[in-house]
Amino acid sequence: MNIGVLGAGSWAIALSVLLHKKGHRVCMWEYDSGAAEFLQKRRELPSKLPGVTIPQEVEIVNDIAAAVNMAQLVLCVVPSQTMRSTMQSVAKLVKPQALDKIEGWVIASKGIESGTLKLMTDVVADEIPGLGLNRIAALSGPSHAEEVSKEIPTSVVAASESHQLALLVQEQFSTMTFRIYTNDDMRGVELAASIKNVIALAAGICDGMGFGDNTKGALMTRGIAEMMRLGRSMGARDATFSGLAGIGDLITTCISKHSRNRQMGELIAQGCTLDQALERMTMVAEGVQTARSAYELSKKMNIDMPITMEVYKVLFENKPAQEAVRDLMMRESKSELWGLA
């Protein structure tokens, strides 16, 4: 198949290399002309994905229309807060006839849009004329680019309201080391993928404060409870949060040395301001903006999300991490199944 990849960061490169090895024709778009020229000449991105070579057959362009015009599938791997502007560019620069021929839009970005509080599939549907959710899929799960690019066995989930599209993604993306399951709870998969980054920030704060396994085990478990409560209020299924996009990705993101969100939390706990921590990161930590959006969404939906609330206050209200931990531990006592039964 002809696959257009929007974005050229580490995850976009890892997936582009995987798809090329699968036999697809891949055209990858980088929005920055200087970065695109660098990738064209070097065929690598050592600052984010060292040791991974981009095959010559993978076309790298700075023209978004060139990446989309001939595509049968479009893979969206841009930062969540730039998804809308990217899709606006696509709608403006790509001919309607080319957009109509695209069989599916696969969203591999994770986050909740600031302001609108919309998920990425909704943002794409908003901006691409005539596009319904039945032509959109979300690809998510425990899948660090550093490991996928080295063909370390990985399992993820492709979720879509269209079972046919989910099966298409499963067929076209699966390899001997990249196993894909299908799911029809696209909203649940997206919410899990987004909120787990906020919990990973909290896990990093725990690491930075020198806490142990007891703390992190409790944090992840109660984090799943928060994700599930929010998901249920938005029509998602509980079972999705026990799957790859939920508990699977949460565990990986909270414990991995590759996790940029965990690293961000650790920097905050060690005394960095948010701006200082962001300057030290070489890649986008999606959980930072998602913490704001998730906090606002919890208030809008009237859902109790104490971990998310405390992460928000630490990041954006300069609340000391020690106080946030104290307030979490001293909350009113409850049944473990409060809000879930």
Q: Is 196 a catalytic residue?
A: yes
Q: Which amino acid is at 315?
A: L
Check: CB of residue 137 under 8 Å from CB of residue 156: no
**d(Cα 282, Cα 155) in Å, to the nearest integer?**
26
CB-based burial of residue 107 (10 Å sphere; 0-12 exposed, 13-18 middle, 19+ buried)? buried
236: left (phi over 0), alpha (psi -120 to 50) or beta: beta
| Tokens at 25, concatenated | 């024709």
| Tokens at 277, concatenated | 């921590």
The number of residues making up the chain comes to 341
Check: CB of residue 119 under 8 Å from CB of residue 190: yes
Check: CB of residue 127 under 8 Å from CB of residue 84: yes
Q: Which of 48, 110, 118, 196 is catalytic?
A: 196
**d(Cα 190, Cα 133) in Å, to the nearest integer?**
13
| Tokens at 94, concatenated | 């790509």
β-bridge pairing 136-140 and 154-160: antiparallel
Looking only at Cα atoms, what is the longest distance across the chain?
A: 59
- Helices marked H in the chain: 10-22, 33-42, 64-68, 83-93, 96-100, 120-127, 145-148, 163-173, 186-208, 213-233, 249-255, 260-269, 274-280, 287-301, 306-316, 321-329
**d(Cα 185, Cα 138) in Å, to the nearest integer?**
10
**d(Cα 253, Cα 110) in Å, to the nearest integer?**
13
Check: CB of residue 100 under 8 Å from CB of residue 130: yes
**d(Cα 67, Cα 3) in Å, to the nearest integer?**
8
Write out the catalytic residue numbers: 196
